[in-house]
Amino acid sequence: MTILISQPELSEDRKDNYDAKELVLDGGFVVPNKTEAFDAPEINSFGNSFRDYNAESERQKTVEEFYRQQHTNQTYDYVTKMREEYGKLDKAVMSIWDCCELLNDVVDDSDPDLDEPQIQHLLQSAEAIRKDYPDEDWLHLTALIHDLGKVLLLPQFGQLPQWAVVGDTFPLGCAFDESNVHHKYFKNNPDFKNPDYSSKNGIYKEGCGLDNVVISWGHDDYMYLVAKENGTTLPHAALFIIRYHSLYPLHKAGAYKHLMNKEDEEDLKWLNIFNKYDLYSKSKVLVDVDEVKPYYQSLIKKYFTETLRW
């Protein structure tokens, strides 16, 4: 059976805002300049600027050590192996909401902005988007599920090391762009000295499309595989957000855009909108889970089957 899924479109007024009346936030994220829109704070819950990887703190030391390990171990061959293993989707059978609740046991060591359980970050992002984009229910659900792949840190899913699950992602099979956080540690990566991967395009052709590019393995790609292979009816833009929301060299610095195709360019507009809420909604103010649960369960029922293979 073929399922036709309509792609979301920015309304004409939002297209105008996006193209001509941009609000450029810290990190380069472009979001519509809307009246009474989400108010992005200037500092994170630790009192530092968001995504400040140089601020002196014990947590920053943890973050830098994380990136040393990630940049050393994430290779083209490693990602190929992990996609084959986890593409089997044989680790669990459960609902989306059951997976959300599992994230109560997860804290992301790569995140310099937050040390709260991940389910709170998901709900904070989703509720902020819901307020500003009440008619885009697919975007609300995308915010709720975008980090569910972090269950890879739990024993049932292999208990992968943090460097194999979280943190900024980056393409493999081509040169490591200098906009990558803690770029200096790539010199320890075996791919760094591979001549086939040393040029800007590497093994790819310009404009080949990000779906044809191997990206470092983590929760983004895993959740993308789970959603896609379980037949979600979310639009392609949602899958793009899930798969590339940690690809900060692209949507922060504009790196790797030469590998994008036309569909990627359209989807990137929605990712730029989403990332404002993904980053700046991190807060110590917690969402009442029981209050919002019925709404998000209704969206899960709309876009997913009751249970999924993970």
Q: Distance between CA atoms of 87 and 309, rounded to whole angstroms? A: 10
Contact 151, 310 (CB under 8 A): yes
Query: Is the distance from CB of 249 to CB of 213 less than 8 angstroms?
Result: no
* SS3 category, 49: coil
Q: Using an 8 Å Cβ cutoff, are 162 and 110 in contact?
A: yes
Judge contact between 113 and 279, C-beta under 8 A. Answer: yes
CA angle, corner 122, sides to 234 and 158, nearest 5?
85
Is 121 a known ligand-binding residue?
A: yes
Is 49 annotated in a binding site? The answer is no
> What are the residues whose beta carbons fall under 8 Å from the beta carbon of 184, sequence distance 6 or more?
none
* 211 annotated among ligand-binding-site residues: no
- C-alpha to C-alpha distance for 285 and 120, rounded to whole angstroms: 9
Contacts of 8 (CB under 8 A, 6+ apart): 136, 138, 139, 235, 237, 270
Longest dimension (CA), the chain: 55
Is 47 within any annotated ligand binding site? no
Is 146 labelled a binding residue? yes
13 is in an annotated binding site: no
145: tokens are 């599920």
Q: Is 83 annotated as a binding residue?
A: no
Q: Is 298 flagged in the annotation as binding? A: no
Known binding residue 278? Answer is: yes
Q: Is 147 marked as a binding-site residue? A: yes
- Report the binding-site residues: 51, 108-110, 121, 146-147, 150, 167-168, 219, 245-246, 278
Binding-site positions for substrate:
51, 108-110, 150, 167-168, 245-246
Q: Which residues are annotated as a binding site for Fe cation?
A: 121, 146-147, 219, 245, 278
